[in-house]
Structures are given as structure tokens and as C-alpha cells.
A = this chain, B = another copy of it.
Amino acid sequence: MKQKSVDTVEFAKAIADETRQNIMAICCCVLLSVNDIVEKTNVAQPTVSHHLKILKTAGLVRSERHGKQVLYTLNQERMAEGCCQVAENFAPEHPVELVD
């Protein structure tokens, strides 16, 4: 059965920025507020919001509002799917698979 397809250009663009990769690493296994991320990255709050929007649009983070705060976390499943799709397209002779 075929996986849901991934737009590998959008995926790659979304992760192709150092600040975004910092944010991704920081909220990898935890739920963090925007302010938490601002503090941990030393990047201005509008900048963090902007990057979160790009990651959200690409489906790479989930968010949920808790009161005044909005908590973000990395969507690891989508990350893994993106990686597998890139590998499937561009490394067909070195297969990479999701170990589920």
C-alpha cells in the first residue's frame, strides 16, 4: 500500500534553514510555547512565529492552544515520511525504511 505522497520540494525548503532546524530540534519530543522557543533560540518572537508558520504549513509541527499560550511540537511522523520520500525518490538503490 502506497504512503500518502510528500511534496519533497516543500519538505526540503521547510527544513532548509538553520534557525528552523534549531526550532525543530528544540521542540522535537516536547510541547513548547512560542515564548519558550524564543528564549531557547535567542531569535525575535515574530521571527519564531514566522518559522513556525512555515513548518506548520509543511505539516512538520502540530500546535494546540492552552489558554493564552500556543504549544508547538515537532511532527516526527511527518518528518520521517519526508525523509523516506526523499530517499525513495533519490536513493532507490539504497533503500531506507521506516521501522515501525
Contact = CB atoms under 8 A, between A and B. Distances in A.
Interface of A: 8-9, 12-13, 15-18, 21, 24-25, 28-29, 74, 76-77, 79-80, 82-84, 86-87, 89-100
A90 B79 contact: yes
Given A80-B91, A90-B25, A99 B100 contact: no
A91 B78 CA distance: 8
Contact of A94 (B13, B21, B25, B98): B98
A80 B76 contact: no
A42 to B, nearest CB: 17
Given A94-B98, A96-B84, A9 B13 contact: no
